[in-house]
Amino acid sequence: MTILGIGVDLVHIPRITSLLRRRNSERFASKILSAQEYNQWASLGSSEPSARPRFLAVRYCRSTQFTDLFVNAHTIRWNVKEALYKAVYPTLRPTWKEITYHGLTASGQKPSIIYHPVVQENLHKVGQIHVSVSHDGEYSYASVVVEYAEGH
């Protein structure tokens, strides 16, 4: 296994909450979500009103410190995409929309990232992608390790 790169990202959650106060969640979602993530997010609109913010945040906890929209949100999608970018830069420069994050599932499947580049030859450079996420209080953390593709 040859490592293409390692990336980490730390986010102060109130910074994202402030961003969402200035811009609505629709604008935020359209900027950072891949097509697959956006479709999933958009389909939540007909369910409970807080489903969309939780999808963006991944985790939702009650707190009086933050707005109702993004209450103590753990912005893992933001973290993971930033960490992946740092892991592959300068070999690749993926956009937020080329990265799809799948969180921990009810069946216990670990979080994962799928890189679907617009420029297909970039896909042949990327092997397995490993991701780990964590949060504590007002901070969210993501770590990504990207392997070179076999034969590269």
If pLDDT is split at 50, 70 and 90, which confidence band does 51 have? low
If pLDDT is split at 50, 70 and 90, which confidence band does 71 have? very low
Domain that holds residue 67: 3-148
Is the pLDDT assigned to residue 45 strictly greater than 70? no
CATH code: domain of residue 106: 3.90.470.20
Handedness of CA 96, 70, 129, 133 (dihedral sign): positive
Give the percent of the chain with pLDDT over 90.
37
Domain count, the chain: 1
pLDDT tens sequence across 101-146: 988 766 778 889 999 999 888 888 999 999 998 888 888 899 999 9
Which residue's structure tokens are 């007909």? Answer: 46
Of residues 59 and 81, more confidence is placed in 81
Q: Give the distance from CA 88 to its chain's centroid.
A: 15
List beta partners, residue 112: 102
H/E segment holding residue 114: strand 112-115
List beta partners, residue 115: 99
